[in-house]
């Protein structure tokens, strides 16, 4: 700054100096100029007026010796002087005494006038002397008056003249007006005679100096010259630009002082000014610059200072911040408020060099305080609760909301006497400083071992630590409440999951008990509201059994939390044992025995708001029922209530569904059997399997007797007495109402107490068929697994099914009888051939149709086969068919096929309804295989070879019976080789509306060749293959004959009825003995085959005898190959192990066993050795 | 049809012997007769029931099924069933093949009476 200032000063000074110098110079120049100007003016003056005046002196030469001035010489002189150009006029004036005036006037011719006033002449008065102008140059005009005036009469002139006279020199007048106009001044010089030394002047010469003339004198002066000329104080000339000041000269001219003030051209002080200005500007700039520099420097310095201060501060803060960050990190790791507070302690020691660290955490009514002496290991830190209203540094700080700062051990002790442990802690502490945390959540402070207050930095540090601690405690509290909330949410979720997994009411309750237990309850009960308003325990935990037993059904009348919760329909709680005892003194004993210190009860509600139960929970510690817990319990109760509702609805639904399913199952099962006894059997088996311990079906026979059709399970006590049981059944049948054992008069029916035996009537189509007796089993929860209504439902369905079966049986029996009657019963068996037949009625199912078949021996040992088709259905057709059949078997005895047809032609004439019947007739020699055949309007027989070749017998064809009277019939011959099969059939087999007969024949051949050779089931197979499950309008009839040697093959087909099994066994035994099979093998084979056949009868046809079971056995290479075949969909033996027993037996006997399903039939194949080997 | 003599007819007789019910079966036991067998056994009332199969010519799984059901029914009433089946008879053979519980099978009626004597 100094430099700058000096520089500025220097510059300023220099500028001033230079400016001053320049100014002075300029002044000087100015003065010089003025001087020059003045000089020039003076010179001019001198050159002009001066010369004139000087010239006036030369006028002395004008006087001649006489002392007279000649006018002409004056003129010459005057011209010379006038050429100077400075005078207006020159004049010669004579002095004329008064006496000579007259003469003079006479001589000059002019009067001497007095100038009274300028321009005004008067005649001259009497004067002493007159000075009249004798000559004047320039010659005036004719103004004569100018010449004749008296200059002395004019005072100003007079004075000058007198002065001139007296001084003998030139004398000026002052400014006088001129006679010619204008004004100026006049100079007089006396002229003397040359010889005259004294005396007066002879004349005066005078020069007139008019202003204008003077002005023109000075006109040559340079233009830039300004001058002022004064004469005797009177200004006689000035330039236009009058100088007020300037160079002053004075000179004497004509005895008068002339003053000249002249100014030259102005000398500009511009440079000085410029310098001044420039310098000033420079100086200013410098000054500004300096000032700026100075101020910026100052600012810079201030900035530097500030920066430095800030840096220092930030360093301090950083140090503190890193400490605080560590503190913050350690605080955020801690979760419990006490953990959080403990984390602060090391920082208090570190940052504040304290001896004692003090932290307090507000906890409800208490302040938990921790005081730690430096160096104490962590596990010796003890938190002590202190009442918030007590006097302690932390409590005070929190309560009062301000810092507690004390110096001096005595002061501290006085303020906080405290117990002795405190004294120990406080030993060595000389000052204490505790600050409260914001929000009164706690306090933090230190005890120092010096008696001094905290420094500012220390205070700030402690504040910062306190702030961190406060924040961390807030966080911890938040986390805790979040944690609580999360725990609650988790608990709710968990509970919801558990409840979702629970399906029964008991499971739901158990899940809830677990959940509430996991929340910290020591005793939990869940009751369900059952019938008659009883709260029955569904699940419980945490109570000894004897107490649990007393609350099995909650005694609502006794009052208590649960009663209140139920009636008030809200959560009721007691937060402490005393509170509870006060409310329910009668139950205090129980509470004490359980050890509950906080208890809560709340009702369970369905989604619709109905109460369906209650929850009770208790904990052995107080204040377990916090508001958070209440909310959670309410939430759990809501979930549980809904779940219970769901479970019970589900249980109901399940029961209903189960009942439905069971009914469906039973229904299905019943469907599979077509006999009443079969269905009854299935029914009781199904019931005993799952729902009952005993079931029996009794039906009323045609003779009005009650007969047991099927029973299963163990006979209940109530039915042990047969008579009583029958009376019971009779009662039910006659009243038509179901009766349980408990609904009957004990005296009549015996028994006592509630019983689950039920006798239900089987009612269908308005009549009672019989009864179903059940003893319903008890379920896991001791409730019956089936309700009575379900039992009734079952009885209803069963009744219908049984009635249907009975009806069907009857009808089937009728049709069977009719059919058998018409068809003449079963086919005979022949040696060396296997004959089989199949008959499928048309869609008019039970009505007998017009198809028939027959096979009978001829007297010549041949076998005759015939298949025929009488037109139409119904009785007429049946009768015609019967007659025709009879006629055939009679007429065939001694006829060839062709002859037979001819005879039949004649026969049908007498039986018109048999006319147009078609017929195929074959006779076969079983030993040679020779075949004769004829077809009357009937499809051709088919021959199938073992290797699968098929051929139709197209020869021997002619028209239907009776169609062409007297026509000769043709026959044909063929041969059936061993193993070949011939197939006769009716057109229903091969004729379809949608396809031609060729296709049908094709399919027939296909079906036939698929069967193994000698398959006695061929007829059925063919029927199945071609008509299968279709409902066909036409009857279908198939008759097959296979030519096989029967020694190595056993073939037996029988209706699927249990009664046939004995016959099968006999036949088999016979064949086995014929084939030399040893007895022990025979025993096994017979048992195995019987089992297999029994299975086929049972499963394939359900004992209704409507289908065929075929047993084939072949002996080859010391083995027996046996197959048992039925056309039913044999189920694999289900879970019922009884049914599998048969298979087990077979497996134990034979070497190989396989069960296959072929073309809708089930075939069981066995292989065993014929040599004796004991079965396994 | 075979010319052999028809198999012995199926028959059941119930009797009492030493406080035991004795059910004697003759003929063939198969599907046709197993139900009757079961019914007969279940209609008894004494604590011990003896089923005499000495005269049985044929026994198959349906018979065993009926016997087993009867046994279960008796057991649920805390009664017992004994089966008399002399070795080498058809019934013994089938029982063995079927793996029927050997403990229940005794050789003769006398043995059955003796066993009953022990348990009485």
**Cβ–Cβ gap A708/B65 under 8 Å:** no
**Cβ–Cβ gap B62/A1142 under 8 Å:** yes
- Rounded to whole angstroms, the Cα distance separating B52 from B86 reads 9
- A-chain residue closest to B10, CA distance: A1062
pLDDT(A556) > 60? yes
Would you call B101 an interface residue with chain A, using a CB distance cutoff of 8 Å?
no
pLDDT(A426) > 80? no
Beta bridge partners of A1145: none
Contacts of A1090 in chain B (CB under 8 A): 30, 58, 60
**Cβ–Cβ gap B7/A1138 under 8 Å:** no
| A1094 → closest Cβ in B30, B35, B69 | B30
**What is the predicted pLDDT for the residue at B56?**
92
Best mutation target, A1062, A1066, A1067, to test chain B (most B CBs within 10 A): A1062
- B-chain residue closest to A1140, CA distance: B61
Check if the beta carbon of residue A208 is closer than 8 Å to that of residue A182: no
**Cβ–Cβ gap B73/A1141 under 8 Å:** no
Measured N-to-C along each axis, helices A337-352 and A456-501 cross at an angle, to the nearest 10 degrees, of 160
The top-scoring range by mean pLDDT among A332-346, A827-841, A969-983 is: A969-983
- Rounded to whole angstroms, the Cα distance separating A641 from A609 reads 9
pLDDT confidence bin for A866, thresholds 50/70/90: very high
Mean pLDDT of the region A332-361: 81
| B31 → closest Cβ in A1058, A1063, A1141 | A1058
Please write the tens of the pLDDT for every residue from A1006-1059.
888 887 766 667 888 888 888 876 666 677 889 998 887 555 678 788 888 888
Contacts of B42 in chain A (CB under 8 A): 711, 714-715
Contacts of A1062 in chain B (CB under 8 A): 7, 28, 30, 32
If one compares A1021 and A115, the residue with the highest pLDDT of the two is A1021
What's the helix, strand, coil split of chain B in %, to 5?
40, 30, 30
Contacts of B32 in chain A (CB under 8 A): 1058-1059, 1061-1062
Best mutation target, B97, B99, B101, to test chain A (most A CBs within 10 A): B97
pLDDT confidence bin for A323, thresholds 50/70/90: confident
Would you call B87 an interface residue with chain A, using a CB distance cutoff of 8 Å?
no
- Rounded to whole angstroms, the Cα distance separating A847 from A926 reads 35
Percent of chain A whose pLDDT exceeds 70: 86
Residue (of A34, A82, A36, A37) closest to A56 by Cα position: A82
The top-scoring range by mean pLDDT among A1-5, A425-429, A616-620 is: A616-620
If one compares A318 and A445, the residue with the highest pLDDT of the two is A445
pLDDT(B22) > 80? yes
- The region of weakest confidence among A126-130, A889-893, A906-910, A1071-1075 is A126-130
Burial A397-408 (b: 16+ CB within 10 A, else e): bbbeeebbbbbe
**Cβ–Cβ gap A1094/B31 under 8 Å:** yes
- Residue B111 CB neighbour total at 10 angstroms: 14
Please write the tens of the pLDDT for every residue from A453-506.
888 888 888 888 888 888 888 877 777 777 777 777 887 888 788 888 887 888
- In chain A, the N- to C-terminal Cα span, in Å, equals 132
**What is the predicted pLDDT for the residue at B120?**
40
Contacts of A713 in chain B (CB under 8 A): 73
**Cβ–Cβ gap B2/A1067 under 8 Å:** yes
Would you call B7 an interface residue with chain A, using a CB distance cutoff of 8 Å?
yes
Distance from CA of B106 to the nearest CA of A (A): 21
pLDDT(A140) > 80? no
pLDDT(B119) > 50? no
- The region of weakest confidence among A92-101, A475-484, A1123-1132, A1157-1166 is A1123-1132
- Rounded to whole angstroms, the Cα distance separating A495 from A503 reads 14
Mean pLDDT of the region B73-101: 88
Distance from CA of B89 to the nearest CA of A (A): 11
**Cβ–Cβ gap A1090/B45 under 8 Å:** no
**Cβ–Cβ gap B72/A714 under 8 Å:** yes
| A1091 → closest Cβ in B32, B38, B61 | B61
Check if the beta carbon of residue A1113 is closer than 8 Å to that of residue A1089: yes
Distance from CA of B23 to the nearest CA of A (A): 18
Size of interface A-B (CB pairs under 8 A): 90
The top-scoring range by mean pLDDT among A316-325, A438-447, A481-490 is: A438-447
Beta bridge partners of A688: none
**Predicted interface score ipTM higher than 0.85:** yes
Which two tokens mark A444? 């933090």
- B-chain residue closest to A711, CA distance: B39
**What is the predicted pLDDT for the residue at A496?**
84
| Sequence-distant (≥ 6) Cβ neighbours of residue A42 within 8 angstroms | A249, A251, A260
**Cβ–Cβ gap A713/B73 under 8 Å:** yes
**What is the predicted pLDDT for the residue at A973?**
93
- The region of weakest confidence among A715-719, A1088-1092, B24-28 is A715-719
**What is the predicted pLDDT for the residue at A824?**
54
- B-chain residue closest to A1094, CA distance: B31
Which two tokens mark A170? 């030139």
If one compares A561 and A150, the residue with the highest pLDDT of the two is A561
**What is the predicted pLDDT for the residue at B1?**
41
**What is the predicted pLDDT for the residue at A943?**
94
Check if the beta carbon of residue A961 is closer than 8 Å to that of residue A914: yes
Helical (H) or strand (E) element with B16: strand B11-17
| A1149 → closest Cβ in B42, B43, B97 | B97
Mean pLDDT of the region A977-996: 85
**Cβ–Cβ gap B94/A1145 under 8 Å:** yes
pLDDT(B81) > 50? yes
Cα angle for residues B105, B106, B112 (degrees, 5° grid):
120
Residue (of A556, A567, A634) closest to A600 by Cα position: A634
**Cβ–Cβ gap B7/A1061 under 8 Å:** no
| Residue A580 buriedness (CB in 10 A; 0-12 / 13-18 / 19+) | buried
Secondary structure (DSSP) of A67-101: S-B-HHHHHHHHHHHHTT---SEEEEEE-EEGGGH
Best mutation target, A1091, A1097, A1102, to test chain B (most B CBs within 10 A): A1091
Which two tokens mark A747? 């005296």
pLDDT confidence bin for B83, thresholds 50/70/90: very high
If one compares A97 and A698, the residue with the highest pLDDT of the two is A698
Beta bridge partners of A919: A868, A936
**What is the predicted pLDDT for the residue at A985?**
93
Q: How far is CA A729 from its chain centroid?
A: 70
| Sequence-distant (≥ 6) Cβ neighbours of residue A155 within 8 angstroms | none
**Cβ–Cβ gap A1070/B4 under 8 Å:** yes
**What is the predicted pLDDT for the residue at B2?**
43
Secondary structure (DSSP) of A189-214: EEE--SS-SSS--SEEEEEEEEHHHH
Mean pLDDT of the region A662-679: 77
**What is the predicted pLDDT for the residue at A825?**
54
Distance from CA of A713 to the nearest CA of B (A): 6
Mean pLDDT of the region A782-790: 67
Would you call B60 an interface residue with chain A, using a CB distance cutoff of 8 Å?
yes
Would you call B2 an interface residue with chain A, using a CB distance cutoff of 8 Å?
yes
Residue with tokens 């008296």: A150
Contacts of A1061 in chain B (CB under 8 A): 30-32
Beta bridge partners of A599: A574, A618
Could you tell me the CA-to-CA distances from A1099 to A628, A735, A1107 in Å, in that order? 66, 37, 11
Secondary structure (DSSP) of A438-462: GGGSEEEEEEESSSSPPPHHHHHHH
Distance from CA of B65 to the nearest CA of A (A): 6
Cis peptide before A138 (omega within 30 of 0): yes
- Rounded to whole angstroms, the Cα distance separating A928 from A925 reads 6
Q: What is the number of alpha carbons within 13 Å of residue A1160 lying toward its C-beta? A: 13
**What is the predicted pLDDT for the residue at A145?**
46
- B-chain residue closest to A708, CA distance: B39
Q: What is the number of alpha carbons within 13 Å of residue A309 lying toward its C-beta? A: 6
E strand residue ranges, A701-799: 706-713, 739-740, 757-764, 767-776
pLDDT(A820) > 60? no
pLDDT(A965) > 50? yes
pLDDT(A742) > 60? no
pLDDT(A675) > 90? no
Beta bridge partners of A432: A406, A447
- The region of weakest confidence among A117-131, A210-224, A466-480, B51-65 is A117-131
**What is the predicted pLDDT for the residue at B23?**
92
- B-chain residue closest to A685, CA distance: B69
**Cβ–Cβ gap B77/A715 under 8 Å:** yes
Please write the tens of the pLDDT for every residue from A540-551.
888 877 777 777
Tell me what the pLDDT averaged over chain A comes to. Answer: 80
Please write the tens of the pLDDT for every residue from B29-73.
988 888 889 888 888 888 889 999 999 999 988 888 889 888 888
Would you call B94 an interface residue with chain A, using a CB distance cutoff of 8 Å?
yes
| A1061 → closest Cβ in B30, B35, B73 | B30
pLDDT(A686) > 80? yes
Residue (of A837, A749, A738, A735) closest to A788 by Cα position: A738
Contacts 24+ apart (CB under 8 A), B40-44: B40/B12, B40/B14, B41/B66, B41/B67, B41/B70, B41/B73, B41/B74, B41/B81, B42/A711, B42/A714, B42/A715, B42/B70, B42/B73, B42/B74, B43/A715, B43/A722, B43/B14, B44/B14
Residue (of A921, A1033, A943, A941) closest to A988 by Cα position: A1033
Q: Which pTM was predicted?
A: 0.33
**What is the predicted pLDDT for the residue at A1088?**
92
**What is the predicted pLDDT for the residue at B84?**
92
pLDDT(A1158) > 80? no
- SS3 state of residue A344: helix
- Rounded to whole angstroms, the Cα distance separating A712 from A690 reads 12
pLDDT(A614) > 60? yes
Please write the tens of the pLDDT for every residue from A763-774.
888 888 899 988
Contacts of B4 in chain A (CB under 8 A): 1066, 1070
- B-chain residue closest to A1175, CA distance: B97
């Amino acid at each position: 700054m100094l430099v700058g200032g000096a520089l500025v000063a220097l510059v300023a000074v220099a500028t001033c100096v230079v400016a001053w110098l320049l100014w002075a110079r300029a002044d000087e120049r100015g003065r010089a100029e003025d001087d020059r100007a003045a000089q020039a003016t003076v010179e001019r003056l001198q050159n002009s007026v001066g010369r004139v005046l000087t010239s006036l002196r030369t006028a002395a030469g004008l006087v001649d010796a006489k002392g007279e001035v000649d006018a002409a010489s004056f003129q010459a002189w005057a011209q010379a002087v006038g050429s100077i150009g400075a005078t207006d006029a020159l004049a010669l004036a004579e002095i004329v005494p008064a006496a000579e005036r007259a003469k003079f006037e006479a001589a000059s011719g002019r009067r001497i006038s007095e100038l009274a006033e300028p321009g005004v002449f008067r005649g001259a008065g009497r004067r002493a002397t007159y000075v009249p102008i004798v000559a004047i140059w320039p010659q005036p005009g004719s103004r004569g008056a100018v010449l004749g005036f008296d200059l002395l009469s004019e005072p100003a002139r007079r004075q000058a003249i007198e002065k001139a006279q007296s001084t003998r020199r030139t004398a000026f007048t002052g400014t006088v007006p001129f006679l010619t106009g204008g004004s100026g001044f006049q100079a007089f010089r006396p002229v003397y005679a040359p010889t005259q030394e004294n005396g007066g002047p002879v004349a005066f010469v005078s020069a007139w100096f008019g202003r204008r003339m003077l002005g023109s004198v000075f006109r040559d002066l340079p233009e830039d010259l300004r001058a002022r000329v004064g004469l005797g104080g009177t200004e006689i000339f000035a330039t236009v630009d009058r100088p007020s000041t300037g160079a002053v000269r004075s000179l004497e001219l004509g005895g008068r002082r002339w003053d000249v003030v002249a100014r030259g051209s102005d000398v500009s002080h511009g440079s000085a000014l410029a310098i001044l200005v420039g310098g000033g500007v420079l100086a200013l700039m410098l000054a500004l610059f300096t000032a700026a520099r100075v101020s910026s420097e100052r600012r810079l310095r201030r900035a530097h200072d500030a920066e430095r201060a800030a840096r220092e501060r930030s360093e301090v803060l950083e140090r503190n911040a890193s400490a605080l960050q560590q503190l913050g990190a350690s605080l955020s790791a801690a979760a419990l408020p006490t953990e959080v507070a403990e984390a602060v302690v090391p920082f208090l020691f570190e940052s504040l060099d304290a001896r004692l660290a003090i932290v307090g955490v507000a906890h409800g009514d208490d302040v938990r305080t921790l005081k730690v002496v430096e160096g104490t290991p962590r596990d010796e830190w003890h938190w002590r609760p202190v009442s918030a209203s007590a006097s302690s540094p932390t409590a005070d700080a929190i309560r009062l909301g301000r810092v507690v700062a004390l110096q001096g051990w005595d002061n501290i002790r006085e303020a906080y006497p405290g117990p002795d442990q405190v004294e120990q802690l406080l030993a060595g502490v000389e000052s204490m400083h505790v600050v409260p945390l914001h929000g009164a959540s706690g306090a933090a402070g230190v005890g120092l071992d010096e008696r001094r207050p905290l420094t500012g930095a220390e205070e700030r540090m402690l504040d910062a630590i306190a702030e961190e601690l406060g924040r961390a405690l807030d966080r911890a509290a938040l986390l805790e409440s979040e944690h609580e909330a999360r725990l609650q949410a988790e608990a709710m979720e968990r509970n919801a999951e558990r409840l979702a997994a629970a399906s029964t009411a008991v499971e739901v309750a158990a899940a809830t008990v677990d959940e509430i237990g996991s929340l910290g309850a020591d005793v939990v009960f869940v009751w369900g509201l059952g019938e008659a308003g009883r709260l029955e325990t569904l699940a419980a935990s945490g109570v000894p059994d004897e107490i649990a037993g007393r609350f099995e059904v909650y005694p609502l009348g006794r009052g208590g939390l649960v009663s209140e919760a139920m009636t008030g329909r809200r959560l009721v709680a007691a937060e402490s044992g005393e509170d509870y005892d006060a409310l329910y003194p009668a139950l205090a004993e129980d509470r004490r025995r359980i050890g509950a210190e906080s208890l809560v009860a709340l009702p369970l509600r369905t989604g619709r708001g109905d109460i369906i139960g209650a929850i009770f929970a208790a904990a052995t510690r107080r204040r377990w029922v916090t508001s958070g817990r209440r909310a959670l319990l309410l939430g759990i109760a809501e979930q549980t209530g809904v779940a219970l509702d769901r479970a019970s609805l589900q249980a109901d639904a399940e029961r209903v569904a189960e009942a439905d399913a069971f009914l469906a199952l039973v229904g299905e099962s019943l469907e599979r059997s077509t006999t009443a006894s079969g269905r009854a059997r299935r029914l009781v088996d199904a019931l005993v399997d799952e729902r009952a311990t005993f079931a029996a079906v009794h039906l009323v026979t045609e003779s009005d007797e009650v007969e047991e059709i099927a029973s299963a399970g163990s006979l209940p006590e109530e039915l042990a007495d047969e008579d009583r049981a029958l009376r019971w059944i009779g009662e039910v049948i006659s009243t038509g109402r179901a009766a349980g054992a408990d609904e009957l008069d004990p005296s009549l029916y015996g028994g006592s107490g509630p019983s689950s035996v039920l006798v239900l009537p089987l009612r269908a189509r308005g009549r009672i068929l019989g009864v179903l007796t059940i003893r319903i089993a008890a379920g896991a929860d001791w409730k019956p697994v089936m309700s009575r209504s379900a039992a009734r439902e079952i009885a209803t369905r069963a009744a219908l099914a049984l009635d249907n079966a009975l009806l069907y049986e009857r009808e089937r029996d009728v049709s069977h009888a009719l059919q058998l009657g018409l068809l003449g019963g079963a086919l005979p068996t022949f040696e060396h051939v296997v004959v089989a037949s199949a008959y499928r009625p048309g869609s008019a199912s039970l009505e007998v149709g017009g198809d028939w078949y027959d096979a009978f021996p001829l007297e010549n040992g041949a076998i005759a086969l015939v298949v025929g088709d009488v037109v139409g259905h119904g009785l007429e057709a049946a009768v015609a068919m019967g007659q025709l059949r009879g006629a055939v078997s009679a007429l065939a005895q001694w006829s060839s096929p062709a002859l037979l047809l001819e005879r039949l032609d004649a026969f049908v004439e007498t039986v018109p309804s048999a006319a147009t019947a078609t017929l195929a007739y074959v006779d076969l020699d079983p030993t040679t295989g020779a075949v004769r055949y004829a077809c009357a309007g009937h499809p051709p027989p088919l021959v199938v070879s073992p290797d699968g070749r098929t051929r139709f017998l197209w020869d021997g064809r002619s028209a239907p019976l009776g169609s062409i009277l007297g026509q000769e019939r043709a026959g044909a011959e063929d041969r059936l080789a061993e193993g070949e099969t011939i197939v006769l059939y009716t057109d229903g087999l091969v004729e379809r509306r949608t396809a031609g007969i060729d296709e049908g024949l094709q399919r027939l051949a296909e079906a036939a060749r698929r069967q193994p050779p000698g398959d006695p089931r061929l007829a059925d197979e063919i029927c199945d293959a071609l008509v299968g499950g279709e409902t066909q309008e036409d009857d279908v009839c198939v008759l097959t004959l296979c030519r096989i040697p029967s020694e190595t093959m056993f073939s037996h087909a029988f209706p699927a009825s249990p009664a046939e099994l004995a016959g099968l066994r006999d036949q088999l035994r016979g064949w086995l003995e014929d084939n030399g099979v040893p007895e022990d093998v025979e025993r096994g084979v017979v048992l195995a085959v019987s089992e297999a056949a029994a299975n086929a009868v049972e499963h394939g046809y359900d004992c209704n005898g409507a289908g065929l079971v075929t047993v084939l056995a072949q002996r080859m290479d010391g083995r027996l190959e046996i197959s048992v075949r039925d056309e039913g969909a044999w189920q694999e033996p289900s879970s019922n192990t009884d049914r599998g027993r048969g298979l087990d037996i077979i497996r134990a006997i034979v070497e190989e066993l396989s069960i296959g399903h072929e073309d809708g039939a089930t075939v069981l194949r066995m292989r065993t050795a014929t040599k004796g080997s004991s079965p396994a | 049809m075979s010319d052999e003599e028809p198999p012995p007819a199926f028959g059941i007789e119930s009797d009492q012997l030493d406080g035991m019910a004795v059910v004697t079966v003759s003929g063939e036991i198969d599907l046709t007769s197993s139900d009757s067998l079961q019914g007969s056994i279940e209609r008894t009332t004494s604590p011990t029931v003896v089923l005499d199969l000495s005269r049985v010519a044929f026994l198959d799984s349906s018979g065993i099924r009926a016997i087993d059901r009867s046994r279960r029914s008796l057991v649920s009433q805390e009664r017992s069933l004994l089966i008399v089946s002399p070795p080498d008879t058809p019934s013994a053979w089938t029982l063995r093949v079927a793996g029927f519980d050997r403990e229940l099978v005794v050789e003769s009626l006398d043995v059955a009476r003796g066993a009953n004597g022990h348990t009485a």
